[in-house]
Amino acid sequence: MNLSTKRVLIATATLATALVLAACGAKDGGHDGMPGMDHGASPQTSSTQGFNSADVMFAQMMIPHHQQALEMATLAETRASDPEVKQLAAAIKSAQDPEITTLKGWLTTWGQPLEASMSHGMSGMLTAEDMKNLGAATGADFDKAFATLMIAHHKGAIEMADQEITGGQYPAAIELARSVKTSQGEEVATMEAILKRLG
C-alpha cells in the first residue's frame, strides 16, 4: 500500500467516525434546547412534563370539592322553589361535572392517585350535619340555606384556585383555576343577590 492510498483510507475512516458521532449526538441531545420539538418522545412522556406538587394538590382537592357541589345542586332539583336557585344549581352541575372528569384525567396522566395521601382541610366544605340539614329543607328555607352554604363553598374553591394560580406549573390547570375563580366569583355575586331578594 503506497502512502497516498494509506492517507485516503485514514481520511475516509476519520470522516465515517465523525459522521457516526454526529448522528448519535443529534439523536441523544439534539432537542435539549428545543422544548416541544422531540417528536420521537412517547405521548406519556411528553404529557407528564411540566406539573408540580401544587398542580397535584389542586386536582386532588378540587375533585371532592366539586363532587359535594354536585350533591348540593342535585338536592336543589327537587327541593328548591326559587327559579333562579334552580337555574343556578343546573349551571353548577353543567360546569363542574366535566371539570371533575378533566381533573381525574390529569391525575391519571401524571401517574398520581385521585385522592391525597393525607387529609387536607378544604375551605367551604359542608359537614355531614350541614348536608343532612340541607337535604331536609324545602321551599324558601332550602333556597336560603342553599345560597348561604354554596357561597361559602364557592369561596373555598376560589381560595384553592388562587393557590393554584400562584403556585402551580401545569398551564391547563392554571387556566382551569382562573376559570373557576371567575365563574364561581360571578355565582357568589348572584347568590348574594338572591339572598337579599329572599330577605
DSSP string covering 154-165, please?
HHHHHHHHHHHH
Domains and CATH numbers, the chain: 50-198 (1.20.1260.10)
Q: Are 135 and 73 in contact (CB under 8 A)?
A: no
Q: Where on the phi/psi map is residue 111: left (φ > 0), alpha (ψ -120 to 50), or beta? A: left
Regions of the chain where pLDDT drops below 50 = 2-48
Please tell me whether residue 4 adopts helix, strand or coil conformation.
helix
The pLDDT assigned to 199 comes to 87
Q: What is the pTM of this model?
A: 0.74
Cell numbers placing 10? 485514514
Q: What's the CA gap between 138 and 20, in Å, rounded? A: 78
The pLDDT assigned to 155 comes to 97
